[in-house]
Amino acid sequence: MVHKEETYHFLGLHFRVYPLWQYAQKKLEPHRIKLNILAKFYGFNAVESKNSMSMFNLDPKYAMSLISKDYHQPILIVKLGIKSGGLMIDGLHRSYRAWKKGQKTIRAYYIENRNILEKNSNIRRFNLD
């Protein structure tokens, strides 16, 4: 579960995860996202290789240790700009576990509301469109 003070940092961007989760659960319906797309983007195939590096902090042992109630939660993706598919800010380990277990899709909240994102991150400092 997400902690109230949890933040996600990626290449200078900072997101307050908890209020974005609250918004998603109250205002959005989760969609199904294909795990093979996430696996390709986040490098799930290479994560267990000792010779690969990733800019995402994915611990496969931790991911596989998640109990079922934790890994069935939807993931959280934010849309960063017009041309962006989005950035997963919560659910990397859940996605990896589901992919590893052979699931084809995972539920995801997809936040596009610019006002909500600006209130809960530092994206207003970046031109993402």
User: Would you say residue 2 lies in a domain?
Assistant: no
Residues ≥6 apart with Cβ < 8 Å to 22: none
Residue 64 lies in a domain: yes
In a domain, 49, yes or no: yes
pLDDT for res 129: 46
Q: What is the CATH number of the domain that holds 97?
A: 3.90.1530
Q: Is residue 111 part of a domain?
A: yes
**Mean pLDDT for back-to-back runs of 10 residues, the chain (129 residues):** 69 84 92 92 75 62 69 83 76 89 93 82 57
pLDDT recorded at residue 89: 87
CA distance 85 to 110: 10
The domain total for the chain is 1
Q: Is residue 1 in a domain?
A: no
Predicted confidence at residue 128, as pLDDT, reads 47
96 belongs to a structural domain: yes
Q: Please state, in angstroms and rounded to a whole number, the distance separating the CA atoms of residues 66 and 116.
A: 29
Residue 117, in any domain of the structure: yes
Structural domain contains residue 74 = yes
3-state helix, strand, coil in the chain (%, to 5): 40, 20, 40
pTM over 0.75: yes
Asked if residues 78 and 10 have their Cβ atoms less than 8 Å apart, the reply is no
Q: What pLDDT sits at residue 109?
A: 94
Q: Which has the closest alpha carbon to 116: 23, 31, 30?
A: 23
The tokens describing 8, both together, are: 């996600």
3 state SS of 128: coil
Domain interval for residue 19? 7-125
What pLDDT does residue 31 have?
A: 93
